[in-house]
Structure 1
Amino acid sequence: MTADIPTRRRGPYRKSDGRRRAILAAALQVFSSSGYRAGSLRDIGMVAGIDPSSILHHFPTKEALLQAVLEDKEEHDLENLPSPEQVAPRDIPTALLRLAERNDRVPDAVALYAVLAAESTTAGHPSAEYFRMRTERTRRDFRELFEHMDAAGLLAEGIDPEYAARSTFAMWDGIQTHWLIDRTAVSVTDTLRRHLQSITRVSEI
């Protein structure tokens, strides 16, 4: 009597996870080009190559899908945003520029934030609270980084951490919008570099 030899099989959870990732990627593409309200499950299904009804097996509502897309994007951003404990004060501008360079390689994700951030200011938009909290959190994270630089005497004269955080956040978001409109007209990284050179004492960035 011979023992059964186990075979390696692709479990249903692996197939399900792959389908979920495909839906998230398709939703990111559709929401970034059409916005949340205009982008439909039918459009997302066409991009993902699946029946729109199948999307609801993974995400019960369109709003839940939007939330999952935003959380997925933020998870990747947090992995790349430096913290004061991880980087020397003088290296903070360079670390921020690396994040800008990474964003250059994912224009759909940048477009998603630009489109939805503007759209979220309209009444009843499902991501309004997300973007309110995201704005507060990003401003706080930037402020902590610049406080780290300030303690080391690396902010330019007359520049305080709060102003450095607000101006950097506003300039970065704004120049990314210009870049999305015409990617040959501006460089997000070069503009951010000049801004950081003007508000810090670190010129070799």
Structure 2
Amino acid sequence: MDAREDTPTAAPAPTRRRGPYRKTEARRKEIVAAALEVFSTSGYRAGSLREIGGLIGFEPSSILHHFPSKEALLEAVLEYKEDSDLQARDGRTDFAPAEIPALLLRLAELNEQVPGAISLYAIMSAESATPDHPSGEYFRVRTERTRRDFRTMFQSLADAGLLAPGVDAEYAAISTFAIWDGIQVHWLIEPDAVSVTDTLRAHLRMITRVTDI
């Protein structure tokens, strides 16, 4: 018997099939970027799939191949904004109380680099208050979660004795949230006249005892 006949034949290496996947992911990102641009200028209801496709040379049917509905595309755009906010934390969750103001300012600085996303939130949050808007539940949950997260952060500052006299965690959370959202609208209208980060920094200096902000 030929020795080669009883020598096991090596199994062929598995074929990598990542090309089509990568191409699909790239197209999804392209669609989300175009939808972000359209929704942030025209709003969700006025912005159409045809307008979105026109920016990137896609037919509406091609968009629906990647996202089953306009509502699903909206969810992807909002998730993209949420993911970009996480960059401010650099993967950390263990911030000391004195680090919290700097964390908030870093997020504000990152937001100033993506005016389209901020415009989207300003328009969509206002639209979401109308009956039966598809983002209504998202913004209701987002508002509750953000207010709760702010309250938790400022409570840790209060426990560490780092809130200014007469300021409690509830007021600090609500006022910071309101000022931040409001000043972003002013910035979108007059970007050269208003700085979100500088305004937020001044507010944090007034309501906390943290000095290096």
User: Shorter-normalised TM-score: what interval?
Assistant: over 0.9
Q: Which one of the candidate residues 148, 152, 160 is aligned to 2:160?
A: 152
Q: Give me the whole-angstrom Cα distance separating, in 2, the residues matched to 1:68 and 1:85.
A: 24
CA RMSD of aligned residues (A): 2.2
Amino acid at match of 1:24: V
1:129-140 matches, cutoff 5 A = 129-140=137-148
- In 2, Cα distance between equivalents of 1:100 and 1:40: 30
C-alpha separation in 2, matches of 1:81 and 1:170: 21
Flag the 1:163–1:6 CA change in 2: closer, same or farther, 3 A.
closer
8 and 168 in structure 1: CA distance in 2 versus 1, 3 angstrom threshold:
same
Counterpart of 2:57 in structure 1: which amino acid? G
**CA separation in 1, counterparts of 2:142 and 2:171?**
18
Percentage identity across paired residues of the two chains: 66
Q: Distance in 2 between matches of 1:132 and 1:161?
A: 21
Deviations 1:53-92 (A, max 9, x none): 1000011111111111112211222342589952121121
Summarize the alignment of residues 107-118 of structure 1 with structure 2, pairs less than 5 Å apart: 107-118=115-126
2-structure distance, mates of 1:173, 1:70: 16
Q: Is the 8 A contact 1:82 1:96 kept in 2?
A: no
- 1:28-177 to structure 2, matched below 5 A, reads 28-81=36-89, 85-177=93-185
Q: Which moved more, 1:96-105 or 1:64-73?
A: 64-73
Q: Which moved more, 1:161-170 or 1:43-52?
A: 43-52
Whether contact under 8 Å (1:84, 1:148) holds in the other structure is no
Superposed displacement of residue 49, structure 1: 2.2
Q: What does the per-residue CA deviation read over 1:134-184, in whole Å, with 9 as the maximum and x for residues that have no partner?
A: 000001111111111111000001111111000000000000000000101
Partner AA of 2:30 in structure 1: A
For residues 122 and 11 of structure 1, what CA distance do their matches in structure 2 show?
Answer: 43
Instruction: Give the aligned residue type for 1:144.
Output: T
Query: Where does residue 204 of structure 1 map in the other structure?
Result: 212
1-structure distance, mates of 2:173, 2:78 = 22
Unaligned runs of 5+ in 2: 1-11
TM-score normalised by length of structure 1: 0.92
**Number of matched residues?**
203
Change (3 A) 1:134 1:83: farther
Moved over 6 A (4+): 4-9
